[in-house]
Amino acid sequence: MVGGSWRFIKGNFFLTVVIPRLSTRWPQSFQQRCGFRKAAKKPESKKVEEELGPAHSESSEATAQRRTPAPHWDHQAPPSPPRAFGRLVRPLVFTVGFTGCSFGSAAIWQYESLKSRVQGYFDELRADWLDKVRPQKRGDIRKEINQWWNSLSEGQRTVTGIIAANAIVFCCWRVPSLQRFMIRYFTANPASRTLCSPMILSTFSHFSFFHMAANMYVLWSFSTSAVSMLGREQFMAVYLSAGVISTFVSYVCKMATGRFGPSLGASGAIMTVLAAVCTKIPEAKLAIIFLPMFTFTAGNALKAIVAMDTAGLVLGWRFFDHAAHLGGAMFGIWYVLFGHELIWKNREPFVKLWHDFRTRRGPGGGGGGQLFIIHL
């Protein structure tokens, strides 16, 4: 969905940017070059046809695609009637429910994390003392890994799991026997029979290695500033919710325009991260990575990205899913300006309910206990 390369440099608050090469919706004229070949119609391909609308997929480098059998994107008639907005009721309910569950789970995660951190304080002191007494091994691989892990920022440690999940899904695309399953559940298409689960699963799905690498580099680069701004729990809630919300916006635009086709990629969620950071820190300096002498502010960069995607949506450009990009960017801007106050800072009643539930179920039942809430 979205791609690009941005880098946060400590000290000078300087961000380095590579112009995004976004690639999720390619017109059919590009399918041969991108490795998504149109298959001849066969009787056994009917099940695949039920899942897909007209094929528009992410680009990939031709040499890499020749080594892996590409999925077949066969034609299918759009839902009947052609613009049946009633099909979007379930995705809308799923979007609202998933977003609520994401923020609720993040609030519980933060509560449990803080509680365990306080309760395990003396255990950590004991572990530190044992490390000093215990003789150190030279060349211990586990120790090297721990040192590398501890050298990462909290944001980089937070997104490591997201990057690993994207890498696993990318490898699954390389397995020919899994491609029908991947097309059904890891590409988002309002013309498909499976509408809801792909809204989140497609956020972790990339067929092109370049597409995945670009998106993950952007996520890694912005993770430090985003997590320091939101906290890891709130960041994860925003990221996951952004993937579903941007996909729903894409569904609405595809229904409105009648341009159906499968989409995949983390770009919508990453656009939310970019927009949130650029909105919160509009005076941060940005530069194109290959042209570092040209700098501009994060606020102007965000305006340019939104303007480009708006033009692409209005003019019908089909290289990228501009609707998903705009949906992600608008959600990121809204969340920084209003969402943090409306959602995250009002989580205390929910956390109190969880605290009371945990207290009643705890040892001895009905005990007191300390309620831990961090107001960021």
Candidates 325, 288, 291, 301; CA nearest to 5 is 288
- How many angstroms separate the CA atoms of 38 and 35, rounded? 9
CA 334 centroid distance within chain:
17
The Cα-based distances of 175 to 64, 71, 170, 179 in angstroms read: 14, 10, 10, 7
Q: Are 271 and 246 in contact (CB under 8 A)?
A: yes
Catalytic residue among 267, 322, 340, 355: 267
Which residue's entry shows tokens 């008639």? 77
Q: In what order do the strands lie in the sheet with 285-288?
A: 5-9, 14-18, 285-288, 291-297
267 is catalytic: yes
Say how many residues make up the chain: 376
Phi, psi of 7, rounded to the nearest 5 degrees: -135, 130
Q: Which among 56, 72, 322, 325 is annotated as catalytic?
A: 325
Distances (CA, A) of 342 to 339, 346, 348: 5, 6, 12
Identify whether 59 is a catalytic site residue.
no
Residues designated catalytic: 267, 325
